Amino acid sequence: MPYKNCSAAVKILLQTGRTGSDTGIGHALAKYLDSLGFVVFAGVLNKDGPGAEELRRACSQRLSLLQLDITNPTQVKEAYLKVAEKVQNTGLWGVVNNAGILGFPADGELLPMSMYRQCMDVNFFGAVEVSKTFLPLLRKSRGRLVNMSSMAGGIPLPKYAAYGASKAALSLFSGVIRQELSKWGVKVALVHPSGFRTGIQGTSELWDKQEKDLLENLPAAVRSDYGDDYFPELRRYLLRMPAYCEADLSPVLNDVLHALLAPRPHSFYTPGKGAYLHHCVFYYFPVWFYDFFISKLLGTKPVPRALRTAEAKDKSL
């Protein structure tokens, strides 16, 4: 899709990831925008990590790497000063808030409060901090703010209470600030992708840590009700996730490009299989039908021990 202003004059700040290896959508987007001639300021969690090294190797000299942990206000401010110094009077055209963490998918009752706080810190507060910090540069250029939310941020999905709540907060923030920034000529777009293979689920070492934290914070009665055999199934769910996700990231990359450069960008994008359909079912059908639809789609396994016991008793009567 051709755009008038797709040139090296277009300067974009984006965070390439928050997984520790700086991979996924942000990593691919940095390469994609660089290949199109953008000036990219890529914020990475680890400037010396393999993801950052790969960007140095694969991208042009237009791309600048910034050490940027978005939960660290000092690093956000330092990144702003470096970008402001480089763009000077030309301004910054776009900010793409992409960094995010998934956490350990589990029932909301089981998740420790630390997981809720961590998801909010990265997926919501970090994105808000970056947006607020860089908005003076966007207002100057009458540019674009693009926030990467999730399908789980627009519809309720089992096992994603912490992640979904943080992304829902980001989605609502985006809608409000879109209205407020329109008077400045700044356009705000929200992206709700479906499942893509991005590595956001983390590594087995991370799962070990998260599962241990979950189990250590569970009251004995809750753990007994769910049963010890319930928890290994949650990990197996993580292992099965990539099989249900798309490997081709181009639908997301194309939507972000459209949000950045189209004269009239959409306020809401739903790249990926099922993303738009799921939203339609949730918003236009009765809640009971949506719950039934999701239960059939995702299944009901595993079943807590207490429910299995109660069901067995009922059958024996």
Whole-number Å distance between alpha carbons of 49 and 28? 16
Task: Please identify which residue in the block is written with the tokens 């970090």.
Answer: 126
Whole-number Å distance between alpha carbons of 272 and 266? 16
Rounded to the nearest angstrom, the gap between the alpha carbon of residue 125 and the centroid of all alpha carbons in its chain is 13
N-terminal to C-terminal alpha carbon distance within the chain: 66
Query: Of how many residues is the chain composed?
Result: 317
SS3 65: strand
Query: Tokens for 34?
Result: 């660089």
Query: Tokens for 226?
Result: 């769910």
Whole-number Å distance between alpha carbons of 276 and 7? 31
Which active-site residues does the annotation give? 163
Whole-number Å distance between alpha carbons of 245 and 205? 21
Q: How far is CA 285 from CA 47, 189, 194, 314, in A?
A: 46, 25, 20, 33
